[in-house]
Amino acid sequence: MLRRLLALGWALFGILLLGESAVAQMGDPARPLKERVTPEILAHVFPHASRVVELNDGGPAAMAAYAGEELKGYVYSTYDVLRAPGYSSTPFDAIVGVSLDGKVTGAQVIYHLEPYLLNDVRRTNLLEQFLDSLRGRDAKLGAGGGLDPDYVAGATISARAMRNAIQEGAGIVLRYRTGAKIITEPTVDLLSFRPMTIAELMASKSIVNVVVRNADVVEAMKKAGLEGMPLDVPMRGGPDVVYLDFKAAYAMPPMIGRNTGGQAGYHQLTDGQPEGTHAVILGSNGTYDHLGTRFNNLSHGFRLERIAIVQGGKSFEFRKTDMINTAYVMGRAANILVLPKDSGFDPLKPWRADIFAFTRQRDGTLHKFLLTSVDYQLPAQHILLPEPEAKPAWMEAWAASRTNVAILAAALTILTLILAFQSKLSRSRSAHRWVRMGFLLFTLVWLGWTASAQLSIVNVINYLKGPFEGLGLAFYLAEPLIFMISIYTAISLLLLGRGVFCGWLCPFGALQELLANLSRFLKLPQWNPSEKLQRTLWIGKYVSLSLVVGLAFAAPGAGAVAAEIEPFKTAITAMFVRGWPFVIYALGLLAIGLFTERAFCRFLCPLGGALALLDRLHLLDLLKRRPECGSPCHLCERSCPVRAIERSGKIIMAECFQCLDCQVEYYDDKRCPPLSKQRKLKLRGAGPVRPIITRPSGLAPVTSRTQMP
């Protein structure tokens, strides 16, 4: 019966191997870009483009996107530009559109061998939604916006890698075609422009404004000790009448200078001045203005006496030759005032505009006093910043997973304590039962179905291929929970053997064992092979291992399908939301496990095969045995749910899942014959008894038996 069930498992897997053609049907990234950018893909990645033209300018491979005769942007392939891999070591191919202003217009993945996306309709749909959320976002590496990569649950690494490749590739394509300089430090934006009104510029603090009423003038004169003195420009009307409505701004960004100074005035500034020139634009309304008339007089040195720009401890004053006339958008009196390039003015730092007024003395001379001031800071929207050095993907992953990392760290600590104090735990059958079932439920529900942290042969293969693919430590750190489990598994494998992971940390294994317990509760018949047949069946997992690993290196496409021999993706990370062949295969294996506990783990699992091979290296044997184990007692052998104990009493650690059931029997003085005999002798008052001899689990039983007094 068992042979037939296992044959059925291999037959189901054979059906899955036929799905290799599904991988082959994905777009071949080696084809020319013009063949990959079909009309359907173009409509998705650049909806406003009517046609694309292949570029042969020696730059990164791309196609120019046009709407009629107007160039709108570019379409490129991440495979051509970056050859970036995701979770798989095979580079994926995403076709991407980017506009001339550096916005993602759309992206579509046409080829990948990402193990947790292949043949997974649900995750593939989530990935499409994730990439669609980048539409309209800045195409800069590290730019915010869009959905979080965790949105593609279970394939976060793939999603994050694809997003980064889209953003980085766009920057490479645009810089080559537009000649844009690479910004290495904060710089004034002298390129961006769109029409804006004065009200909009004031709302964004691109223009600052101060209004001085007649009452404010009186206060300023009083503060200067000039109360009652006649003003050079007298006030008109009552205290609420506006004496000066003053506006100021930095003029170099076209978003400010062109919208406030007009096209002619701004072009005179940009075309007629040397590179590195700075300028402010000022405007005023009201009784008083910032210009006056004396700047036309030689006797006054053509100085603009009413205005000064102050930055730090330095004051900048102006003459008539520094003025550029503008449209009167900023006020009745409006102009651009130019500061020479060597003036020391820094547009990125705050500055202040001081407005002065004058009182006329009795002798006719003028006395200058500060009328008002206004502070200015160039808004961030007019500053180009260096592209942020994006945090390594693994750092982003660890930051995003910090809660899960803390939960897993706590769980691994608890598991370590369970293993360290297993002898005490095993003395209570009920305590062991509750701890064992509770931890398996945690492994299945949280570790598997919630956190999608199912270690699989895919992880092992990727780790093995990493050095050959030139992948550094960042690759291994990219998946925090899997990395933690991998390290813990490696250490526990070296110390205790295969069973720590397979018996406690494998979500699919936990699912099988929980179902097996349900099966026994329902009194379903249980079948186990003979010792001889079992040794033959154990070879199955090594065959699986050879098949998956061999194809992974020789034919990655076929290897990706062969890895489906593990039902982990279907049953755990996808929670059975997959194509029917995969679901039938996973359910078939679970059904077999109802009658033969952990049949997949014992006879078919390639990861189990890899761990079983390495189990030979383990250093410690914590599972205790007695001379009576196997001769004459077979209690532990019969109680072992996976038949990892030989008739001789020896525990085969490569097949042991560290469930501790044998240790519960070992300490049960009502079931273990040597302990039971001792207990009965004590009850009869037979006096002291000799201690029971124990031996390591890997040793054969000794010939002499303990003599009871």
Asked if the structure places residue 390 within a domain, the reply is no
Considering the domain boundaries, does residue 20 fall inside one?
no
Q: Span 163-183, mean pLDDT?
A: 81
pLDDT tens track for 532-557: 999 999 999 999 999 999 988 888 77
DSSP state of 290: S
Kindly report the three-state secondary structure assignment for every residue of 164-193: HHHHHHHHHHHHHHHCCCCCCCCEECCCCC
Residues 545 and 431 in one domain: yes
For residue 193, being part of any structural domain is answered with yes
Question: What's the structural domain count of the chain?
Answer: 4
Domain match, 454 and 580 both: yes
Instruction: Answer whether residue 155 shows pLDDT above 90.
Output: no
Q: What is the pLDDT of residue 19?
A: 44
Query: What's the pLDDT score for residue 72?
Result: 92
pLDDT score at 707: 31
Question: Of 354, 384, 414, which residue constitutes the final position of a domain?
Answer: 384
Q: Which residues contact 524 (CB under 8 A, 6 or more apart)?
A: 594, 595
Q: Does residue 180 or residue 236 have the better pLDDT? A: 236
479 with 515, same domain? Answer: yes
Does residue 393 lie in a domain region? no
What residue numbers bound the domain in which 678 lies?
621-709
Query: What six digits make up the tokens of 429?
Result: 């059958």
Tell whether the model's pLDDT for residue 5 goes beyond 70.
no
Q: Please indicate, yes or no, if residue 214 is contained in any of the structural domains.
A: yes
Task: Determine, yes or no, domain membership for 7.
Answer: no
Quickly state the pLDDT bin for 701 (edges 50, 70, 90): very low
Place of tokens 């992974």: 552
Across the range 463-480, mean pLDDT stands at: 80
Q: Which carries the bigger pLDDT value, residue 6 or residue 299?
A: 299
pLDDT at 528: 86
273 compared with 500, residue with greater pLDDT: 500
Q: What is the pLDDT of residue 687?
A: 53
Could you tell me if 510 and 443 are in contact, meaning their C-beta atoms sit under 8 angstroms apart?
A: yes
Residue 311 pLDDT greater than 80, yes or no: yes
- Residues 451, 210: Cα–Cα separation, whole Å: 57
Q: What pLDDT shows up at residue 702?
A: 38
Give the pLDDT score at 708.
31
- Residue ending a domain, among 178, 200, 235, is 178
Looking at the structure, tell me whether residues 166 and 212 fall in a common domain: no
User: Does residue 32 have a cis bond before it (omega within 30 degrees)?
Assistant: no
Q: Quick one: 434 and 489 in the same domain?
A: yes
Q: Are residues 135 and 254 in the same domain?
A: no
- Under DSSP, is residue 477 helix (H, G, I), strand (E, B) or coil? helix
CB 174 within 8 A of CB 74: yes
Secondary structure percentages of the chain, helix, strand, coil, to 5: 45, 15, 40
Q: What is the pLDDT of residue 13?
A: 52
pLDDT at 323 over 70: yes
> What confidence category does residue 21 fall into, taking pLDDT thresholds of 50, 70 and 90?
very low
Examine the domain organization and report whether 410 and 422 are in the same domain.
yes
Whether the pLDDT of residue 703 is over 50: the answer is no
For range 384-389, the mean pLDDT: 76
Given 151, 178, 205, the domain boundary residue is 178
Place of tokens 């397979």: 502
Query: What is d(CA 577, CA 587) in angstroms, rounded to the nearest whole number?
Result: 12
At residue 399 the predicted structure's pLDDT band, cuts being 50, 70 and 90, is confident
If asked whether residues 540 and 651 sit together in one domain, one would say no
Q: Are residues 245 and 304 in the same domain?
A: yes
Same domain, 609 and 626: no
| For range 684-690, the mean pLDDT | 59
435 lies in the same domain as 581: yes
* pLDDT score of 524: 93
Full 3-state SS string of 391-455: CCHHHHHHHHCHHHHHHHHHHHHHHHHHHHCHHHHCCCHHHHHHHHHHHHHHHHHHHHHHCCCCC
Check: CB of residue 463 under 8 Å from CB of residue 476. yes
In a domain, 640, yes or no: yes
pTM: 0.69
The reply to whether 447 and 355 lie within a common domain is: no
Please state, for a pLDDT cut of 70, what percent of the chain lies above it: 91
- The predicted structure's pLDDT at residue 134: 92
* Model pLDDT, residue 114: 85
In a domain, 331, yes or no: yes
Mean confidence (pLDDT) of the chain: 86
CB 206 within 8 A of CB 383: no
